[in-house]
């Protein structure tokens, strides 16, 4: 039996496009926070836990120009009940380059009802008809 928990990590790359600009030629901070949030959120799939972002504290350390590849590295630092604590960095100039952004996050485990109760029926139906989404949802079953 395999178990994932503290120490689980993922890496990702995100290329800043012209549409991601805030100041001229530079990435918007909200887009960089989204890249961090998405990378951190993917850790929960490895835990086989459905969770939503409760808190995301972001430090913007260096400006990130358009066309830059942001090298993201996220890991879980602790799991306490429904709370999953994680941290991520985004580096520029390569996976070992200087840190441009970093974030600490708290994800909260939820039941699938969270989405069914709060989401719009049309999008829920569309997601349920999407084979990729269904495969993902089934991955959470205890006895697949």
Of the residues 17, 42, 52, 77, which one makes contact with ligand DCC according to CB under 6 A: 52
Q: Tell me, residue by residue from 1 to 30, as one string, x for binding to ligand DCC by CB under 6 A and - for no binding.
A: ------------------------------
Nearest partner of 104 among 66, 30, 53, 139, judged by Cα: 53
Give the residue with the Cβ less far from ligand DCC, 41 or 90. 41
Residue 110 binds ligand DCC (CB under 6 A): yes
30's CB contacts (< 8 A; 6+ apart) are 22
The closest alpha carbon to 101, from 11, 27, 17, 24, belongs to: 27
The structure tokens listed for 79 are 């799991």
Interface with ligand DCC (CB under 6 A), residue total 17
Chain-centre distance for alpha carbon 100: 17
Q: Are 60 and 67 in contact (CB under 8 A)?
A: no
- Inter-residue contact 75 to 8 (CB < 8 Å): yes
Residue ranges in 70-99 that form contacts with ligand DCC under rule CB under 6 A: 81-83
Return the range that interacts with ligand DCC (CB under 6 A); candidates 2-10, 26-34, 84-92, 106-114. 106-114
Residues that bind ligand DCC (CB under 6 A): 41, 50, 52-55, 81-83, 106, 108, 110, 112, 115, 127, 133, 137
């Amino acid at each position: 039996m395999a178990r994932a928990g503290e120490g689980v990590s993922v890496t990702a790359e995100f290329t800043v496009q012209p549409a991601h600009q805030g100041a001229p030629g530079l990435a918007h901070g909200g887009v960089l926070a989204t890249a961090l949030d998405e990378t951190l959120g993917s850790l929960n799939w490895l835990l086989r836990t459905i969770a939503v972002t409760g808190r995301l504290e972001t430090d913007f350390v260096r400006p990130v120009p358009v066309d830059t590849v942001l090298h993201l590295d996220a890991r879980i630092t602790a799991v306490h009940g429904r709370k999953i604590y994680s941290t991520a960095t985004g580096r520029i100039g390569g996976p070992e380059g200087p840190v441009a952004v970093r974030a600490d996050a708290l994800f909260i485990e939820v039941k699938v009802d969270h989405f069914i109760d709060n989401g719009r029926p049309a999008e829920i139906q569309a997601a349920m008809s999407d084979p990729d989404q269904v495969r993902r949802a089934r991955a959470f079953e205890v006895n697949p």
